[in-house]
Amino acid sequence: MTDPNLTLLYVDNPAASAGFYADLLGKPPVEQSATFALFALDSGAMLGLWSRHTVRPAPAAGPGAGELAFSVEGVEGVRAMHEDWIRRGLTIVQPLTDMSFGHTFLAVDPDGHRLRVFNAS
């Protein structure tokens, strides 16, 4: 058996979400259609954005039921990404804070998916 290597987020508008993630990740999707966009991440994992209107069976949970987590180097790395995401206009739903796993903050994408940035302690 292989490890999971594709995360799918159900989005309202794949083209708009692809634009958001292309800017956030600094790379274009490797595949894009009217109902789907796919990003190849530096880690080797893939991020898919699938129209919630065409997923079958329909998803039972809405956005915010899970998180995409971004591990960065050092507390200063977390703070720098926080400042960058504020400049980009992302909605911050948890300000910079220290938690049991390290320094962190939480933002949401335009569909309400949670995006956590953290520095593991």
Please give the Cα distance from 33 to 63 (Å, whole number).
21
pLDDT over 80 (residue 117): yes
pLDDT over 90 (residue 35): yes
- With beta carbons less than 8 A apart as the criterion, state whether 5 and 43 touch: no
| Region 6-51: CATH code | 3.30.720.120
Buried b (16+ CB within 10 A) or exposed e, 38-50: bbeeeeeebbbbb
Q: Where are the domains of the chain?
A: 6-51, 67-120
- With beta carbons less than 8 A apart as the criterion, state whether 21 and 49 touch: yes
pLDDT tens digits along 65-89: 889 999 999 999 999 999 999 999 9
- Count the Cβ atoms, other than its own, within 10 Å of residue 81: 18
- With beta carbons less than 8 A apart as the criterion, state whether 102 and 118 touch: yes
Q: In whole numbers, what is the pLDDT of the chain averaged over residues?
A: 94
- With beta carbons less than 8 A apart as the criterion, state whether 54 and 76 touch: no
| Region 67-120: CATH code | 3.10.180.10
Contacts made by residues 81-90, CB under 8 angstroms, sequence distance 24+: 81/117, 82/117, 85/117, 88/23, 88/24, 90/115
pLDDT over 70 (residue 121): no
pLDDT tens digits along 43-64: 999 999 999 999 999 888 888 8
> To which H or E segment does residue 80 belong?
helix 74-88
